[in-house]
Amino acid sequence: MFKNSPASYGLIAIILHWLMALTIFGLFGLGLYMVELTYYDSWYKGSLDLHKSIGLTLAAVFLFRILWRSFSTQPKPLGTNKTMNQIAHTAHIIMYIILAVIVVAGYLISTADGRAIEVFTLFNVPAINFTFDGQADIAGEVHYYAACTLIGFAVLHALGALKHHFIDKDKTLIRMIKPINAKN
């Protein structure tokens, strides 16, 4: 039930998937809101600190998810079209790469001034002793466009899951909602 099987995702993979999905969409919304604030808005610093803290927490969960995926059984694709299965697999890898780019770019934005990032006032993630001209601006552009691209991929991913459920009528979506037995 907790671990993946050849027929289904386990509870840990399912929780990681949905936790990350909700967090990514929440961070995207918060990020869009933040860029509209001015320095003098009362929520300017609070939203920025929250975005950074949640973003770094997401990065830790993302690393755990990659490790979990690396050491877990992966359920077999339900579709018989090998090309579509390969496209779906490639899209997952691309989403992981884009998320890594977003995290690194966010870190570079936040540490461009040489200061550490405070995470929920619990601990600090230190700045690296390396900067480049225009770091915050360049990293900001990369962060924004990579986030928009990730949201686009996530929407396509969701549409693909809905296609599996309503058109193909297979259990691709169901097995990412709840663990299922091989005999179901």
Quick: pLDDT tens for 137-184. 999 999 999 999 999 999 999 999 999 999 999 999 999 999 987 654
Helix/strand/coil (H, E, C) string of the chain?
Answer: CCCCCCCCCCHHHHHHHHHHHHHHHHHHHHHHHHCCCCCCCCCHHHHHHHHHHHHHHHHHHHHHHHHHHHHCCCCCCCCCCHHHHHHHHHHHHHHHHHHHHHHHHHHHHHCCCCCCEEECCCEEECCCCCCCCCHHHHHHHHHHHHHHHHHHHHHHHHHHHHHHHHCCCCCCCHHHCCCCCCCC
Q: Which residues pair with 117 in a beta bridge?
A: 125
* Other CB atoms within 10 A of residue 164 CB: 20
Q: Considering the chain, what is the average pLDDT of its residues?
A: 94
Q: What pLDDT sits at residue 181?
A: 76
Domain chopping of the chain, boundaries: 9-175
CA 82 to chain centre: 26
When mean pLDDT is compared over 2-11, 20-29, 68-77, the highest value belongs to 20-29
CATH class of residue range 9-175: mainly alpha
List the structure tokens of 7: 């027929």
Quick: pLDDT tens for 89-128. 999 999 999 999 999 999 999 999 999 999 999 999 999 9
Inform me whether the pLDDT recorded for 4 exceeds 60: yes
**pTM score:** 0.94
